[in-house]
Amino acid sequence: MSKPYSRLDINNAAVLLVDHQAGLLSLVRDFDPDRFRNNVLAVADLAAYFQLPTILTTSFEEGPNGPLIPELKEKFPEAPYIARPGQINAWDNPDFVAAVKATGRRQLIIAGVVTEVCVAFPALSAIEEGFEVFAVTDASGTFNEVVRDAAWNRIAAAGVQMMTWFAVACELHRDWRRDVEGLATLLSNHIPDYRNLMTSYAATKGAIPSGKPAA
């Protein structure tokens, strides 16, 4: 049975960035490393651009998982930062859950490493507690495509909506007239082909994006 279309709402969404840690990123093989990092930073940029509450969390930093990638700390210096001492499922950490609930948002946009654990476990836990969950597929990575597909199938069957970061940005934005240059800059900063598109547009409209990172 099909489900009703539930749109992301800029006033009801929060972003959860789970375990994008230096050690864990070395395990990601279902995406090219540079492209994957670009996608993760695109999610960070859209979270900042749309001013969405954002929560950062890591697992067992002192072990081989390593520290959070520095770009995320720099992007969100004031965001809740939950360094979990051992819990594999972020939802098992009471500080993380408290930070999520403190946002007052019921739509959770989640990305993480690795997909079948760091994304799937908290996504399933949040679904069980009545949240709407949107997994950012191209900013979540794992060992290979077989593992990834199994994880996607599992969480989709539970009601998690699967989206790319580009789709998340567009669904939140809703209407180009809201801010043409702002959205175009966000997209152009992470999609070279989109910058070409905007360069062509600028030839007649003078609307080339600045190229500066999204605020």
What positions carry a catalytic annotation?
118
Q: Are strands 107-112 and 132-136 parallel, antiparallel or unpaired?
A: parallel
Nearest CA-CA partner of 7 in 125, 134, 105, 112: 134
The amino acid sitting at 38 is: N
- Distances from the Cα of 123 to the Cα of 107, 115, 119, 196, 203, angstroms: 11, 10, 6, 36, 44
**Bridge partners, 113 (sequence order):** 141
The answer to whether 107 and 132 are in contact (CB under 8 A) is yes
For residue 78, count CB atoms less than 10 angstroms from its CB and return exposed for 0-12, middle for 13-18, buried for 19 or more. exposed
The answer to whether 30 and 38 are in contact (CB under 8 A) is no
Nearest CA-CA partner of 134 in 94, 172, 104: 172
Here the tokens at position 192 are: 């070279």
H/E segment holding residue 107: strand 107-112
